[in-house]
Amino acid sequence: MFRIKLTSLALALLFVSGGLSLTAAYAASVYWSPAYRKKVSTRVYKEGYERVFNAVADACEVNGYSVILSNKQTGVILTDYQPAGSALAGKGRVKLDFKVSVLKDGSTMVRLNMHCQVNASRGMNSIDFVLNEDNYRRVLDVVTKTVNRAKDTEAR
């Protein structure tokens, strides 16, 4: 599933933003295998590309993320950073990157990458936002609800 690589002594971080949380375990960093990361960050829908692409963009806005790039030809949707933080972890920010594509069977795949930056003593440090699969699930669940809502609205 994943492997744990011990690093130098680290502080436990708790990052909360719009229901998203990042937890870096004390003295450990978690790295996912490519196969596991794909499983966690990908959803496949039996809906058309147009409907899914629009639902992803709508889900970003619903979650408070401003879309800064939306290209239907390439399937890329990028958001701007959204402030995040807590009293325990300090200030930081999170952004979402999506890739929407059509599979051979006609279904539509959505791939999500989350990026987090936190304030450090020398400015913003980037952290690959893969430490908590619940963060991916929460965002992709909103995408799924938005896809289903669009489907229901169209059926009426």
Instruction: Give residue limits of the domains in the chain.
Output: 2-155
Does residue 78 carry a pLDDT above 80?
Answer: yes
Sign of CA dihedral 50, 54, 57, 63: negative
Could you tell me the fold of the domain covering 2-155? Answer: Alpha-D-Glucose-1,6-Bisphosphate; Chain A, domain 4 (3.30.530)
pLDDT band at 132 (very low <50, low <70, confident <90, very high): confident
Q: What is the pLDDT of residue 9?
A: 25
pTM listed for this prediction:
0.73
Q: What is the pLDDT of residue 122?
A: 60
pLDDT band at 31 (very low <50, low <70, confident <90, very high): low
Does residue 84 carry a pLDDT above 80?
Answer: no
Q: What is the pLDDT of residue 58?
A: 93
Q: What's the mean per-residue pLDDT of the chain?
A: 75
In angstroms, how far is the first alpha carbon of the chain from the final one?
A: 42
Does residue 80 carry a pLDDT above 90?
Answer: yes
| Residue labelled with tokens 């030809």 | 73
127 vs 27, 48, 76, 98, 102, CA distance in Å?
A: 15, 34, 21, 18, 30
Mean pLDDT of the region 58-72: 93
Mean pLDDT of the region 72-88: 84
Q: What is the pLDDT of residue 93?
A: 82
Mean pLDDT of the region 126-149: 79
Q: Of 36 and 2, which is predicted with more confidence?
A: 36
Q: How far apart are CA 71 and CA 150, in angstroms?
A: 20
Angle at 92 between CA 24 and CA 122, to 5 degrees: 90
Q: What is the pLDDT of residue 8?
A: 28
Residues 6+ apart with CB under 8 A from 122: none
CB of 5 closer than 8 Å to CB of 105: no
Burial of 113 from C-beta contacts in 10 A (0-12 / 13-18 / 19+): middle
